């Protein structure tokens, strides 16, 4: 199957540092992924690490850096996501990590302005990297949707440092540079309906605010690097077992995941 982006889409990504595509996945596909994720809620919310913003306020996530046989890894292998990344990064790509962003109702923590390459810098020499955010729930200004600065990726990597109560894992981009870039680059609120996909470059500055609403704002983010990106302190087995799966293989993996959940529920009752 050909899942290539159009020349206009790739040009928009290179100019803007991001590309938002509504209805990238069908309602049925995202419904199946969402049901599996909700059934995993207790496990997902028990991830030992909770991100802190500069005020020490938290927000939940669950991160994997190895692929497994489950619905989330299946999406990380999805050829509909991987093929566009080969185009956008101009060569073969491999898996880096993936995560569920779990902005629960009433989440007080924000994600401070940062570039993903602000973090990935310690793992790879080049910023030939990017991520795809797949909306599971509607994301809008009222529940802390992702905000990006259009064209900010063209300004290179910004230094990142800890602020306030942040740990070494939660550094934010230098606030002086961010203030200048906010003046120069348009701030875009990435409002997304379930099934929408946001492709964003690893040097694109982004941030999101708390979720004061009564609705969850969950999303899956899958991250990649060009395969020939020289590792710096990257684990040797990073990307191990990565291959691309077609739509049928992904939906079979989601169905297997749901079957296992039902079997566990059955065993518990």
Ligand X SMILES: O=C(O)CCC(=O)C(=O)O
Contact positions vs ligand X (CB under 6 A): 101, 111, 116, 146, 206, 208, 219, 221
Give the three-class secondary structure for 76. helix
Task: Pick the closer one to ligand X by CB: 82 or 198.
Answer: 198
For tokens 């529940």, name the residue: 143
Task: Pick the closer one to ligand X by CB: 79 or 137.
Answer: 137
90 close to 97: Cβ distance less than 8 angstroms: no
Phi-psi region of 113 (alpha: psi -120 to 50; beta: other; left: phi over 0): beta
Task: Pick the closer one to ligand X by CB: 40 or 258.
Answer: 40
Return the bridge partners of 59, or none: 51
Closest contact distance (angstroms) between CB of 132 and ligand X is 11
Give the three-class secondary structure for 136. coil
Closest contact distance (angstroms) between CB of 228 and ligand X is 23
Task: Pick the closer one to ligand X by CB: 19 or 146.
Answer: 146
- Residue number of the CB closest to ligand X reads 208
Closest contact distance (angstroms) between CB of 92 and ligand X is 23
Closest contact distance (angstroms) between CB of 140 and ligand X is 12
Closest contact distance (angstroms) between CB of 9 and ligand X is 22
60 close to 207: Cβ distance less than 8 angstroms: no
For tokens 């810098």, name the residue: 121
**Count of beta carbons in the 10 Å neighbourhood of residue 4:** 12
Task: Pick the closer one to ligand X by CB: 103 or 257.
Answer: 103
Q: From 111, 151, 108, 118, select the one nearest 133 (Cα to Cα).
A: 111
């Amino acid at each position: 199957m050909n899942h290539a982006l159009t020349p206009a889409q790739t040009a928009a990504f290179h100019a803007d540092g991001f590309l938002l595509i509504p209805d990238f996945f069908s309602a049925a596909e995202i419904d199946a992924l969402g049901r599996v994720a909700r059934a995993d809620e207790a496990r997902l919310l028990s991830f030992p690490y909770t991100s802190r913003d500069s005020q020490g306020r938290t927000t939940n996530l669950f991160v994997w850096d190895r692929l497994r046989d489950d619905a989330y890894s299946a999406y990380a292998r999805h050829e509909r996501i991987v093929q566009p990344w080969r185009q956008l990064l101009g060569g073969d790509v491999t898996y880096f990590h993936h995560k569920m962003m779990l902005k629960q109702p009433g989440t007080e923590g924000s994600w401070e302005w940062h570039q993903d390459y602000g973090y990935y810098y310690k793992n790879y020499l080049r910023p030939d990297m990017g991520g795809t955010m797949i909306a599971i729930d509607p994301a809008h200004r009222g529940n802390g949707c992702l905000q990006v600065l259009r064209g900010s990726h063209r300004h290179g990597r910004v230094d990142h440092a800890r602020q306030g109560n942040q740990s070494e894992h939660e550094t934010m981009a230098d606030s002086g540079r961010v203030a200048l870039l906010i003046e120069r680059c348009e701030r875009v609120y990435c409002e997304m309906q379930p099934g929408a996909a946001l492709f964003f470059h690893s040097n694109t500055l982004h941030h999101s605010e708390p979720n004061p609403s009564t609705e969850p704002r969950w999303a899956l983010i899958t991250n990649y690097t060009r395969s020939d990106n020289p590792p710096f302190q990257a684990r040797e087995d990073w990307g191990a077992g990565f291959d691309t799966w077609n739509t049928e293989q992904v939906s079979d993996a989601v169905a297997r995941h749901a079957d296992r959940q039902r079997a566990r529920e059955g065993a518990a009752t």
